[in-house]
Chains A and B, each alone.
Chain A
Amino acid sequence: MSEQIATNEQEYAIEVKDVTMVFNMASAKLNSLKEYFIALARRELFFKEFKALKNVSFNVPKGSVVGLVGTNGSGKSTMLKIIAGVLEPTEGECVVRGNIAPLIELGAGFDIELTARENIYLNGALLGYTKTFIDEHIDDIIDFAELHDFMDMPLKNYSSGMVARIAFAIATVTEPDILIVDETLSVGDVFFQEKCMNRIRSFIDTGKVTVLFVSHDINQVENLCQTAVWIEKGVKRMEGPVAEVCEAYRNQ
């Protein structure tokens, strides 16, 4: 019995179990000891709680493509950050099985003073690649980003679109176990967006990569995903086949 449960659980790439995320609005603003003690004296310290997520649970099976929909400020980004391991939930648990390639805020982890080539190594290390792997694939990365002539230029001279190209190329140079795609692809030009979508599709086609796709563009979600989760004001409103969820989302 317990063995069977164990194997079932192994089939999920992401398990979000009863996750609640509370931000403490009052103490988040305190930056100095003086403010801290004033707040303490006024007993304002642990007031004003803001629940970004309330008891959200869902599972993402391995190899599936799941869309996350919701209006602005509904808690999508918070959810993504918890899955990416950047935020720790106040209550509940989030289990992730496998390597994550986060395409969230492309290029945010770069050092603008470094050249593109140096950033590829730095970012590759952060993504968990080995040095040998980066050595072998640096040409692939440069090819994909199509920025051959600018590799030894500091990133501060790059446009945001160029930075996004590099970031996407690094994160997707190898097949990750889990790919998180935020609304980031709007940065590049149309041709590069197309190229990125093709690469994401090729990952999906292998059937091994789990993709979590977040977008306001409901048509894109419908196109790409099999199932969808709808989060609204921190509460999971609906979960199921993509067509049904998107239909309900449109008619809200």
Chain B
Amino acid sequence: MADSSANHSNYVSGTFSKDGFILRQLVSTDFKLKYRRSILGVVWSVLNPLLMMIVMSVVFSYMFRYNIENYPLYLIIGNITFAFMSDSTNQGMTSIINASSLLKKIKVDRFLFPVQKVLFALVNFAFSFVAVLAVMLWFRVVPTWHFILLPVCLLLLVVFCSGLGLLLSAAAVFFRDVMHLWGVVITAWNYLTPVFWDAQMLVDNHAPWFVLAVVRLNPMYNYIQFMRDIVLWQTVPSFETVALCVVWAVVMIAIGIFVFKKTEHKFILYI
């Protein structure tokens, strides 16, 4: 039996470090389960975006490549950035429902589950980024000092996705419809975002102003733009892009936290 004098050092002091340890455990659980019993394991996280890039490059190269330099690199950055958002929100959305057996038994901070999915998506993003580096090497694109802005971009994206994940996870508890609806929204959002096309084409083809406005304000357009600026174009992102990234992150996390805090005490009755 443990001696009681040491009793309290056995427990984590402070909720912050307790939650930190729980998050690490949950994310590593996700990681282990995702790659268990697959031969290539984590290599898939690198291969997936590469294969996608190759397929899309072949298909779209005759349509769009004329004005985009290093089109495959353009594609893969857009793809993995968008995938980060769609993975984290898709999984975050069902995270509370899937954690029901846990939530019914142990007192645990509920926001950990949507955040866990965002962090897990971030881990996957890190591996996908290895693919980006490989493509850069292939096209002889040398990284510049602009890479130091990458953590800033990722931080904003993590905050944005966490807000969205909190909102969706709470909504899905009360209305399971959200789960079906979100699939449609993600697909539509993907087409609305210049992942494989160039936003300049809209201007060139005289698209109406509201279409331009929607595309321009689209948060994912701005995060992808930020990412492409520092990795592909190797410039400092415009003030407008950074400002929109920050605003979207702040607005989304505020809405997410507000809705989650308002509703979380009722979750247990619905899961």
**A→B interface (CB under 8 Å):** 23-24, 28, 31-34, 36, 81, 84-88, 99-100, 102, 104-105, 108-109, 111, 113-114, 118, 121-122, 125-131, 133, 137, 173-175, 202, 206, 208
Is B106 among interface residues, defined by CB-CB distance under 8 A? yes
Least Cβ–Cβ distance between B168 and chain A, in angstroms: 14
**Mind listing 14 A-B residue pairs with CB under 8 Å?**
A28-B270, A33-B175, A33-B177, A86-B104, A100-B107, A102-B105, A109-B102, A111-B33, A113-B36, A127-B106, A129-B12, A130-B12, A131-B21, A133-B9
Least Cβ–Cβ distance between B187 and chain A, in angstroms: 20
Give the chain A neighbours of B105 by CB distance below 8 A: 84, 86, 102, 104-105, 108-109
Q: Are A108 and B18 in contact (CB under 8 A)?
A: no
Per the bound structure, the CA–CA distance linking A72 and B21 in Å amounts to: 38
Least Cβ–Cβ distance between A107 and chain B, in angstroms: 9
Which of B18, B103, B177 is in CB contact (< 8 Å) with A86? B103
Mostly, the B contact residues are helix
Give the chain B neighbours of A81 by CB distance below 8 A: 104
Give the chain B neighbours of A202 by CB distance below 8 A: 1
Count CB-based A-B contacts (< 8 Å): 93
> Given A99-B11, A102-B106, A174-B10, list of 10 further CB < 8 A pairs?
A28-B270, A31-B175, A81-B104, A105-B104, A105-B105, A114-B32, A118-B29, A130-B11, A130-B21, A174-B7
Q: Are B2 and A173 in contact (CB under 8 A)?
A: yes
Is B22 among interface residues, defined by CB-CB distance under 8 A? yes
Q: Are A84 and B106 in contact (CB under 8 A)?
A: yes
Which of A111, A126, A129 is in CB contact (< 8 Å) with B11? A129
**B→A interface (CB under 8 Å):** 1-2, 4, 7, 9-12, 18, 21-22, 24-26, 29, 32-33, 36, 101-108, 175-177, 265, 268-270
Give the chain A neighbours of B24 by CB distance below 8 A: 125
Give the chain B neighbours of A113 by CB distance below 8 A: 33, 36
Per the bound structure, the CA–CA distance linking A238 and B176 in Å amounts to: 43
Least Cβ–Cβ distance between A126 and chain B, in angstroms: 5
Residue of A nearest to B30 (CB): A111
Between A24, A33, A126, the greatest number of chain B beta carbons within 10 A of the residue's beta carbon is seen for A126
Which of A23, A85, A125, A173 is in CB contact (< 8 Å) with B25? A125
Per the bound structure, the CA–CA distance linking A167 and B64 in Å amounts to: 58
Least Cβ–Cβ distance between A86 and chain B, in angstroms: 6
Q: Are A175 and B1 in contact (CB under 8 A)?
A: yes
Per the bound structure, the CA–CA distance linking A61 and B164 in Å amounts to: 44
Residue of A nearest to B181 (CB): A33
Give the chain A neighbours of B18 by CB distance below 8 A: 125, 128
Residue of A nearest to B100 (CB): A108
Residue of A nearest to B3 (CB): A175
Least Cβ–Cβ distance between B6 and chain A, in angstroms: 8
Q: Are B7 and A126 in contact (CB under 8 A)?
A: no
